[in-house]
């Protein structure tokens, strides 16, 4: 489910998704969102979320500070805090 959507000073236009298992999946620097996405929207693997961009590092709407790319992160709660984890093994497994 989409837990966060909108502007962050460093991340630009971003989407944060909370899985049923408690993982938080973060997509940042987006250029635009898929139509009809909002907080509380349910999404699943393979759904279109938006377009990669180069937004962030300034007030809302700032773009062009770096090359177009996708910032992707996976976080899990550990000891009461969310900690980042290496997404590569999960992505590799899912691609098989």
Q: Is the pLDDT of residue 35 over 90?
A: yes
Residue 39 has a pLDDT of 98
pLDDT in tens, 47-94: 999 999 999 999 999 999 999 999 999 999 888 888 999 999 988 998
Q: How many CA atoms lie within 13 A of 13 on its CB side?
A: 19
Residue 1 has a pLDDT of 97
Residue 64 has a pLDDT of 97
DSSP per residue, 18-80: E-TTS-EEEEEEEEEEPTT--TT----TT---EEEB-B-SSSTT-B-SS-SB-EEEEEEEETT
Tell me the average pLDDT across 29-52. 96
The first and second tokens of residue 14, run together, are 């971003």
CATH code given to domain 2-95:
2.70.70.10
> Cβ neighbours of residue 42 under 8 Å, at least 6 residues apart?
1, 2
Whole-model pTM: value is 0.90
pLDDT in tens, 76-85: 988 888 899 9
**Phi, psi values for residue 84, rounded to 5°:** -70, 155
């Amino acid at each position: 489910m989409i837990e966060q959507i909108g502007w962050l000073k460093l991340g630009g236009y971003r989407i944060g998704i909370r899985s049923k298992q408690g993982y938080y999946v973060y997509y940042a620097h987006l250029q635009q969102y898929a139509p009809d996405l909002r907080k509380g929207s349910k999404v699943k693997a393979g759904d279109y979320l938006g377009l990669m961009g180069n937004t962030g590092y300034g007030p809302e709407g700032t773009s062009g500070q770096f090359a177009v790319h996708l910032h992707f992160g996976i976080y899990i709660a550990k000891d009461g805090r969310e900690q980042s984890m290496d997404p590569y093994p999960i992505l590799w497994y899912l691609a098989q």
